[in-house]
Each structure stands twice: as C-alpha cells, then as structure tokens.
Structure 1
Amino acid sequence: MTAIDTSLEYLRRWTTGDLDSAWALLSPDVVCDSPAGRLAGRDAVAAFMAPFAGSLVGSQLLAGLGDADRALLLYDTTTRAVESAPAAELHTVRDGVITSIRIIFDRLPFALARGDVAPVTAG
C-alpha cells in the first residue's frame, strides 16, 4: 500500500470504531504530536485517540494527498457533543505502518459546547 492508502485505511478504521485494527497500522514506536503534547508509542496514541473515536457519530473525508512517504488528511467529524470538529493529520509511513503523526484540530467547537467561551457574533 502507498502512504496515502495506509493513512486512509487508518482513518477509516478508527472513525468506524474498528480500533484494534486501526492501531495495527501504527508502528509500535509511533510518535504523535498532538494539541495535548507529544505522545510516544502505539499504546499512548491509542489511549489518546480511543475516547474521541468512541464519541464519534460520523466523519467525512474532505481531502487526502500524499507522496512516497507521507500523507495529509483533512476531515470533519461529528461527535455527540459537536456537529463539526474539523481536523488534519500528517502521517509519515514506512513499511506499511504509520511512524509519525502530526494532528491539528479545532478545539473551539468543544469549548463552545462546554460553555467555556462565548460565541462570536458579527457586529
């Protein structure tokens, strides 16, 4: 599989609840830079991702592109708490497994849902 194939399959698996199968596409030594900080190892990434994956109601791939070693995915998710939670992930893939992940996502929808911030209105 190409890098983009591996990444798309990983996204499909974790967003549909096939978590053990998704984690199998991660290197045991995967490193993940996330809004929560750096995570090292498959178990740490799985522990970080599993609660969010468990809250999903749906997801939609918006774009995906890649080269020989990397893939970039842009997607939107719907959770029980928020209607739209957009995110992007940059993966490095070696020998059919993801060796590094950089996750960027919008925390604002969750802050709004919790009431931590007030919505901005055009004035």
Structure 2
Amino acid sequence: MTDTTSPALCTALAYFEAWTGHDIDKALSYLSEDFVCDAPAGRLAGPAAFRDFMAPFLQILTGSRLIAAFGDEDTALIMYDTQTIPVPSAPAAEHLTVRNGKIIHDRFVFDRTPFQAAS
C-alpha cells in the first residue's frame, strides 16, 4: 500500500524508482550532501560512499518489486524484493528520513543469507 501524498514518501519512491531503474546518478540526486546510511556492512557517510556501496549491486540487479511503502512529513518506509543474477529473491527495507526533499538518513536492512549461500 502506498500513499503518495506524503512528502517523504514521494522522495523515497522517486529514489527507489531511480536506483531500481539502474540510474545511480538520479538516485544519488535525492540524497543530501550530509547523507548517512546505516547498512549491514556498516555506516556509509556521503553520496560518494553510497555510490561505491550500490554500484556493484546494480550490476547484478535484474528486477525489483515494491512490497509496501508508507510515509509522513519526514520519514518513509519502503519494503521491496529484488531479483539478482546470483539470487532470485533478496528482500530488503529502508527507513528514510527526508528534509527539504532530500534523504538525510537511510536505515537499510537486508538479509545477506541468500547471497552467502549463492557464493
């Protein structure tokens, strides 16, 4: 379910559409200069660090499906499933904090198990 009247959710969905469409530059345009991502691999500070984190994943991404999306003025939660070359299902969720139309924080959660089993 999505409610696209939420300002934070509008930004989150545009960001999701960009990176799942393999447009890393457009996806990064939704991040603030002081963006921080807390991911299973650790903390990533800044859009450049996030690019380095996401670029290899986008090379193996073959599809995605939005499961749910919710948001309010400042936060959005998106849950989705991705399909990749090594694994057919890699679910993830992102809790995004948005200020002035830019994502300032991403709490990124995903299960590494399918990837570890495939290697």
TM-score with structure 2 setting the length: 0.93
CA distance in 1, matches of 2:73, 2:18: 22
Report how many residues are paired. Answer: 114
RMSD over aligned Cα atoms: 0.9
The residue number in structure 2 matching 1:80 is 85
Unaligned residue ranges in structure 2 (runs of 5+): 1-5
**What is the deviation of 1:17?**
0.7
The residue number in structure 1 matching 2:109 is 104
Where in structure 1 do 4 or more consecutive aligned residues deviate above 4 Å? none
SS of 1:83 mapped into structure 2? coil
Percent identity at matched positions?
Answer: 54
From 94, 102, 114, the equivalent of 2:99 is 94
**What is the deviation of 1:54?**
1.9
Unaligned residue ranges in structure 1 (runs of 5+): 115-123
CA distance in 2, matches of 1:103, 1:65: 15
The residue number in structure 2 matching 1:19 is 24
What letter is aligned with 2:17? R
From 32, 40, 55, the equivalent of 1:35 is 40
Q: Larger C-alpha radius of gyration, 1 or 2? A: 1
TM-score with structure 1 setting the length: 0.90
